[in-house]
Amino acid sequence: MLDSVGMLTGSPWIYAVVALSVLLDVFLPVLPSGVLVITAATAAAAGSTAAAGSAVAAADQMPPQEVPSLLALLLCATTASVLGDLVAYHLAWRGGARLDRAIARSRRLTTAQERLGAALGRCGGLLVVIARFAPGGRSVVSLGAGAAHRRVKDFLPWSALAAVAWAGYSVGLGYFGGQWMGTTWVGVAVSVLALFAAGSLAAYVIRRPRARERA
C-alpha cells in the first residue's frame, strides 16, 4: 500500500481517495480507511525529511517531490467522517419500518440502539467518540442514532468530536511513525498496529458496561 499511495502523493487525488474511503467506510467497515490515512501521513513524514535534505537534492539536480499536507489530510479525513456519519444517520432516520425490522433481527444493533438512546439522553455522547475507534462501531452508532430518531443536535457535536479525535490520532500515528521509524513498511505496520490497539481498547470499553449489567 505504501507504494500505491506513493504514486498518488504528487497530486491532489490523494485527498479525494482518502475522503472517499473515510466517507464510505460507515457503510463498508471493511474499507481500510485508517490504514490509508496512516500511509498518506507517513508519506508526509517522508516529505518533511526530504525537505530537510533539500540542499543535497539540489546538488544532485533532483526535482522536489510533492507530498501530502498534514493539515489538508486532517481536514479531509475529519470532514469525510462527519459527512459519512450524517448520511448514515439520515438514511436510518428515514428507513422506516424496513430498517426497524432489520435492526430487530440484529441483536447487536438492537442493544446498541437501546444503549445509544440512553447515553445520548444523559450526556453520555462520549460513547460516540469511543465507538469511532472500535471496528464497525461508527456504523452501529450512526445508524442507531438515526433509527432511534435522536435529535441531530444531540448527535452531530459528538460525531464531529469523534471525527477530530480519530483523524488526529491516525494522522499523528502515520506522521510520527514515519519520523521515528522511517517511511518503510515497518513504520507503517507499527502505526497500523497502534490504530488496531486503540480499536480493541474501544471495543472493550463499550462492552464492559454490558458485562456489569449481567453481573
Percent of the chain residues topping a pLDDT of 90 = 20
CA distances from 2 to 30, 38, 98, 159, 210 (A): 19, 10, 42, 29, 39
Residue with C-alpha cell 438492537?
Answer: 110
Mean pLDDT in residue range 142-151: 82
Enumerate residues 6+ apart whose C-beta is below 8 A from 49.
178, 179, 183
How many secondary structure helices (H) and strands (E) does the chain include? 11, 0
**Could you give the count of Cα atoms lying within 13 Å of 161 in the half-sphere of its Cβ?**
13
Residue of 56 and 85 predicted with greater confidence:
85
Report the alpha-carbon distance of residue 170 to residue 191 in Å, rounded.
8
Report the alpha-carbon distance of residue 110 to residue 97 in Å, rounded.
14
Global pTM value: 0.78
Chain segment 84-135, per-residue pLDDT in tens: 999 999 988 887 666 667 666 767 666 666 666 555 555 467 888 888 898 8
H or E segment at 119?
helix 107-121
